[in-house]
Structure 1
């Protein structure tokens, strides 16, 4: 995990974080006392740059990261443009974007500071992830449309089949 964080840091992106499953799955694996890390489909590296919102830049950063770590499935996204794709109000920062992820247990990010110390951001707190609870963020609990997106993700991700001690909260059922 440290090598992945160091590779991400080497890009010197503004307001960058590695988030979501990279953090959440490690915590759940540890709490489930797994001997091996659960494979994750991608490494979500986000950043916030209002100057250059061209999606092509994200692909260039992914390619650069692949030259550093060939077997890592990088996914790089500039949150300054992702609100358009997600049909949401504009985000003010990467942390603002993380706070609007669908689940509180996924609304986490880590990065390295200037001295390579790990920094954790958890705009929705860490209680849900460490208590093995899956709940929607306040943002996703606000509207029927977002609740439907949250519920569809819960079904699609099927996290309970991997981490059987999870408590999954459903809205409106």
Structure 2
């Protein structure tokens, strides 16, 4: 399968029953500005580009949303529990991006997509959601070129200061994605 455009990625997701099930389950919560993001999208693309026939296991499935009216972390835990009740085989992680700027020591985010744009790597700054007609919507605020070219690069936000650069470098060392996907090209902040 060729992966050159956002439409190619959307088609890839639509053909994956497991991924569509996760999107349907997340949609059930009816959260404002919700997305299933990060490794959920990136790993699928890299698995396909590496010719893997088995899905690479993920430590979690990230569901983000944006709701300034309630930034209580306990609500996120309750939402995770609801998702676990609907599908206990998925390691759900739910985070309200209206509060995550505090955890990440950033300026407040304006939306979930704004928060996704500030993820450490461009290849991870991806999200999927379903519209009212269950069409798959992809957000890629840093573009898709790096993920489809199998390049791990920092998002512009992480090249802006030394402290974030250190976080990026520590993260790519810890994640060690090249061990799983050996064709990756990993770029360091100089």
* TM-score (structure 2 length as normaliser): 0.90
Residue deviations 1:78-100, cap 9 Å, x none? 00000001111100000000000
* RMSD of Structure 2 on Structure 1 (CA): 0.4
Q: Does 1:100 align with 2:118?
A: yes
Residue 30, structure 1, aligned to residue 48, structure 2: yes
Q: Secondary structure at the match of 1:149?
A: helix
Aligned residues: 172
Mapped pair 1:169 → 2:154: no
1:50-61 equivalence runs, <5 A:
50-61=68-79
Q: Deviations over 1:30-73 (max 9, x none)?
A: 00000010000000000000000000100010000001001110
Whole-angstrom distance in 1 between the partners of 2:104 and 2:189: 21
Matched, 1:10 2:41: no
Partner Cα separation in structure 1 for residue 84 and residue 157 of structure 2: 33
Give runs of aligned pairs for residues 22-101 of structure 1, distance below 5 A: 22-101=40-119
Alignment partners' CA distance in 1, 2:52 and 2:60: 20
Unaligned runs of 5+ in 2: 1-18
Secondary structure in 2 aligned to 1:7?
Answer: helix
Secondary structure of the residue aligned to 2:164 is helix
Distance between the aligned counterparts of 1:111 and 1:39, measured in 2? 21
CA–CA separation in structure 2 for the residues paired with 1:132 and 1:2: 23
Query: TM (normalized to structure 1)?
Result: 0.99
* 1:133 lines up with 2:151 in the alignment: yes
Identify the residue that residue 155 of structure 1 maps to in structure 2.
173
Q: State the partner residue of 2:127.
A: 109
**Displacement of 1:117:** 1.1
Distance in structure 1 (CA, Å) of the matches to 2:99 and 2:173: 27
Which ranges of 4 or more aligned residues in structure 1 deviate by more than 2 Å? none
Structure 1 unaligned residues grouped into runs of 5+? none
SS in 1 for 2:102: helix
